[in-house]
């Protein structure tokens, strides 16, 4: 094999890999975005009807859908301009190394421990709360519009932020790594009709931010004190505190992690969290 043949094969492999990567990110964003999911289903239906019309020789319906396929992309760009811009912005905001991935095991456990303590207090006293943990997708756009804090996470600080008399009580808290970046953040609410209309604003905002990003949103209901977690556009409703802590640990854990032999002190810390 000469150099020209090797370069040709290499270019084709790179070309195929780029197409697969692009397809992966498109399908990933379609899965997370409700409007894009409906749009994707609509496109599949149009293509399927066009194939059936050509197969059975249905001239009129075939001609109609041919016009739809020809001018459809332009109409999609015009109608879904905000959504397309949002997806492109999200791709630009994606961090290759989210701050949660740089946390050590002990730092992650301390983060979950402090959140667990605050959730127990908020749940017991029926204090509404919305805590959002940033992962790979940057939430800087929401942080810039909220009240900056940039403090170490602690049970006392979280509980004081959501205390009913606090002006920041109604907004959400954003956590980057093991730091509380801001409070009083406002998130978009979900438009997915599959969720019950009885869900409050906090729950819909939590689902909304989990649809637009890969963030983990924790909600405490002000009416019932129930704790729920929204991830990837799905709501895990009415979880126990231990279930919430386990879910957060699993979601924050990097896909591949180097395991080390833990000391007795570290094992005691893990038992304390569980």
Q: Tell me the per-residue pLDDT of 214-249, one tens digit each, with 9 for 90 and over.
A: 899 999 999 999 999 999 889 999 999 999 999 999
d(C-alpha 55, C-alpha 118), whole Å: 62
> Is the pTM for the entire model greater than 0.85?
no
DSSP 100: G
Q: Are strands 179-185 and 234-239 parallel, antiparallel or unpaired?
A: unpaired
Q: What is the pLDDT of residue 32?
A: 59
Residue 35 pLDDT > 80: no
Q: What is the pLDDT of residue 260?
A: 40
Q: What is the pLDDT of residue 29?
A: 64
Angle between helices 34-56 and 81-93 (to 10 degrees): 120
Q: Tell me the per-residue pLDDT of 153-173, one tens digit each, with 9 for 90 and over.
A: 999 999 999 998 888 888 899
249 in Cβ contact with 108 (< 8 Å): yes
Rg (CA), the chain: 23
Q: What is the pLDDT of residue 100?
A: 60
As a whole number, the mean pLDDT across the chain is: 82
Residue 262 pLDDT > 70: no
156 in Cβ contact with 109 (< 8 Å): no
Domains of the chain, earliest start first: 3-93 (no CATH), 99-273 (3.40.1700.10)
Residue 21 pLDDT > 70: yes
């Amino acid at each position: 094999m000469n150099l020209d043949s090797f370069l040709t094969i290499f270019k084709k492999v790179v070309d195929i890999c780029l197409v697969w990567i692009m397809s992966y990110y498109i399908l990933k964003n379609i899965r997370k975005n409700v409007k894009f999911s409906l749009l994707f289903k609509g496109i599949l239906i149009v293509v399927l009807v066009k194939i059936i019309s050509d197969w059975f020789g249905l001239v009129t319906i075939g001609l109609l859908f041919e016009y739809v396929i020809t001018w459809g992309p332009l109409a999609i760009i015009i109608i879904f301009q905000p959504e397309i811009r949002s997806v492109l912005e999200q791709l630009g905001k994606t961090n290759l190394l989210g701050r949660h991935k740089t946390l050590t095991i002990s730092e992650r456990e301390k983060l979950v421990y402090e959140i667990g303590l605050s959730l127990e207090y908020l749940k017991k006293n029926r204090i509404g709360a919305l805590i959002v943990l940033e992962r790979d997708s940057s939430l800087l756009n929401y942080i810039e519009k909220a009240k900056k804090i940039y403090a170490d996470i602690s049970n006392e600080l979280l509980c004081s932020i959501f205390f009913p008399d606090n002006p920041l009580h109604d907004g959400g808290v954003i956590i980057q790594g093991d730091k509380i970046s801001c409070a009083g953040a406002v998130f978009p609410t979900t438009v997915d009709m599959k969720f019950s209309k009885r869900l409050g604003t906090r729950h819909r905002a939590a689902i909304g931010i989990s649809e637009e990003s890969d963030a983990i949103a924790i909600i405490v209901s002000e009416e019932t004190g129930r704790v729920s977690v929204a991830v990837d556009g799905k709501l895990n409703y009415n979880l126990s505190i231990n279930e919430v802590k386990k879910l957060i640990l699993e979601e924050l854990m990097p896909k591949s992690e180097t395991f080390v032999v833990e000391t007795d002190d570290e094992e005691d810390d893990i038992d304390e969290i569980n």
